[in-house]
A = this chain, B = another copy of it.
């Protein structure tokens, strides 16, 4: 039969690249290598499988792999990871804004879909949406060249009483966080004022500008809400 040479780096490879990228960005020093176990845990896969994949990725020139030291994305690997993130976030936007699916569900669905969508489809979705700049959770959408806005690292937990901040993005992996925020009508873009902090349980009292509602937010939740300070 005809051999399909098309160097299409398997659906799984793309998942690994995107997760390596995310882990790199999340780590305090984004220049150190990403460890086998970090990736294994994130992907819910054994460490052995991860090692095997590191070798495949290295063979394809997508990561630099040093035994026992983890991996770093090469420029090509990073570019590919960014394209995966781009697809993922556009699809998420499409699912929420056009198809009316809740923001708790779209991460998993987009993950399922993202490797199967032809580029023209993703581009058409993007145009249909009016070139959105972020996904529903507030993460920036890389452009076709792979440029992506930097993310703030400050969380709501670090905001001092009396200060104001605007929600930048929300960690979708924190169990129940998205549902709670939806209940409180808090979203990326919402401006918050920290009224006070209960030192006993480390609860934050915040007021949402606009709705003028006040809410109590625990430390786990606050650590998943990333903000930009407001002068």
Residues of A within 8 A of B (CB): 1-2, 44-46, 95, 98-101, 105, 109, 112-113, 115-118, 120-121, 124-125, 128
Contact = CB atoms under 8 A, between A and B. Distances in A.
Interface secondary structure of A, over-half rule: loop
Contact of A100 (B2, B95, B124): B124
A47 to B, nearest CB: 10
A46 B172 CA distance: 44
Contacts of A109: 118, 120-121
Number of copies of this kind of chain in the complex = 2
A2 B45 CA distance: 9
A116 B115 contact: yes
Contacts of A121: 95, 99, 101, 109, 113
A13 B218 CA distance: 47
| Residue among A105, A112, A118 with most chain B CB within 10 A | A118
B1 A128 contact: no
B120 A101 contact: yes
A124 B112 contact: no
14 contacts: A1-B44, A2-B44, A95-B124, A100-B124, A101-B124, A105-B120, A109-B118, A109-B120, A112-B116, A113-B116, A113-B117, A113-B121, A116-B116, A116-B117
A128 B44 CA distance: 35
B98 A128 contact: yes
A62 B125 CA distance: 35
Contacts of A46: 1
A90 B45 CA distance: 34
A118 B101 CA distance: 12
